């Protein structure tokens, strides 16, 4: 067997799963695939592998297989597996949730800015998952905390980014949604306000994203691909306000801070983004009146001006195409209108 290759979504991703691929040797004798994989993947039992196959998470040559499938020489085997953030107890907490859609398999939530998605270092309570745990226990009091941690989480968005997030309510839904995220078939559109006047009406940013060498809480773009993971962002100008630009960003991949890092790499950090230099005057005049205007804008939106506006995927059970849209938050609406008015006045002058 050729050495196993791993396409792993690590700490630098918002997509919480991984994929392992391998190719069977030319001289391999026919063997049940569950036995074959159990002997080659660390900590993988035949029972777990059989469960994964029942959920369609093991494919051979692109097709889902059953445990009794017998591998053949040169078969291409792919195994999808979810990876969770650090294990932390999720204590149910009462919380107002903006549930856009819900059925027996999944729920779509419009997350407000300032809310952390899952418990972790420094954020052990008050997160979205704490609220989801409480909500689910009201529906089903028999649910125990053993099944609540990380319940259905397949992707995440930054604390200070607002917008749409999908969570699975069953194991089958979780695995199938995770597979869609990994295969880049999920449609995600973000709206943002970026510093500067973008030269092109639309474009594509291709640059790996990985941890910053010195500042480990930040990420950096590596256009040569010498570090980090592949990342692709498509953008389109929606409106121009002179010193800032209102843009639409479509993700092809889902790396942590992807839009924020890519826009900074392009020379246009997001407005009010403290981590990536957008919380100071990047473009504009030195006049006191303009400085005061920008400070007022920062006060209106004291977080990165980024909103996960649309989310589209195939329902994991019904196979119907689902599409959701969340309107801009009040702070972003007010911010954009303020810049729109400023730009209109600037043109008159």
Q: What is the 3-state secondary structure (H, E, C) of 231-293?
A: CEEEEEEEEECCCEEEEEEEECCCECCHHHHHHHHCCCCECCCCCCCCCCCCCCCCCHHHHHH
How far, in Å, CA of 343 to CA of 182, rounded? 40
**Sign of the CA dihedral 211, 215, 218, 224?**
negative
Distance CA 153, CA 168 (A): 7
Identify which of 239, 241, 223 has the alpha carbon closest to the alpha carbon of residue 231: 223
User: Given 82, 105, 158, 273, which residue is catalytic?
Assistant: 158
220 DSSP β-pair partners? 210
For 89, residues 6+ apart whose C-beta sits below 8 A from its C-beta are: 119, 145, 149
Decide: 245 and 335 in contact? Cβ < 8 Å: no
Secondary structure (3-state) at 115? coil
Active site residue 273: no
Region of residue 304 (left: phi > 0; alpha: psi -120 to 50; beta: else):
beta
Residues in Cβ contact with 210 at an 8 Å cutoff, skipping those fewer than 6 apart: 12, 219, 220, 222, 227, 228, 229
Report the candidate in 151, 119, 121 with the shortest Cα–Cα distance to residue 135.
151
Question: Residue 270 and residue 264: Cα distance in Å, rounded?
Answer: 7
Tell me how far apart the alpha carbons of residues 302 and 299 are, in angstroms, rounded to a whole number.
6
Instruction: Count the alpha carbons within 13 Å of 45 in the hemisphere toward its beta carbon.
Output: 3
Q: Which residues are catalytic?
A: 158
């Amino acid at each position: 067997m050729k050495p196993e290759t791993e396409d792993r979504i690590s700490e630098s991703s918002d997509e919480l799963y991984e994929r392992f691929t391998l190719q069977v040797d030319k001289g391999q004798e026919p063997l049940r695939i569950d036995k074959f994989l159990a002997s080659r993947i660390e900590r993988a039992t035949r029972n777990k592998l059989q469960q994964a196959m029942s959920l369609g998470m093991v494919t051979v040559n692109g097709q889902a297989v059953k445990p009794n499938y017998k591998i053949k020489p040169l078969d291409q085997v792919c195994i999808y597996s979810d990876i969770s953030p650090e294990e932390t107890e999720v204590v149910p907490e009462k919380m107002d949730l903006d549930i856009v859609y819900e059925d027996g398999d999944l729920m779509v939530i419009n997350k407000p800015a300032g809310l952390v998605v899952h418990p972790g270092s420094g954020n052990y309570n008050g997160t979205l998952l704490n609220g989801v745990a409480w909500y689910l226990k009201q529906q089903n009091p028999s649910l125990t905390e053993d099944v609540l941690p990380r319940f259905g989480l397949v992707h995440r968005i930054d604390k200070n980014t607002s917008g749409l997030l999908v969570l699975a309510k069953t194991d089958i839904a979780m695995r199938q949604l995770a597979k869609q995220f990994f295969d880049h078939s999920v449609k995600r559109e973000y709206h943002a306000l970026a510093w500067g006047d973008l030269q092109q009406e639309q474009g594509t940013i291709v640059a790996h994203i990985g941890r910053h060498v010195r500042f480990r809480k930040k990420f950096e773009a590596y256009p040569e691909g010498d570090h980090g993971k592949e990342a692709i962002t498509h953008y389109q100008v929606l409106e121009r306000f002179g010193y800032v630009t209102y843009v639409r960003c479509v993700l092809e991949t889902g790396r942590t801070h992807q839009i924020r890092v890519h826009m900074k790499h392009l020379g246009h950090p997001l407005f009010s983004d403290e981590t990536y230099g957008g919380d100071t005057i990047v473009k504009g005049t030195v006049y006191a009146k303009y400085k005061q205007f920008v400070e007022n804008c920062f006060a209106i939106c004291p977080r990165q001006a980024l909103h996960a506006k649309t989310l589209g995927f195939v329902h994991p059970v019904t196979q119907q195409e689902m599409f959701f849209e969340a309107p801009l938050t009040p702070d972003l609406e007010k911010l954009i209108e303020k810049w729109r008015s400023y730009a209109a006045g600037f043109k008159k002058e």
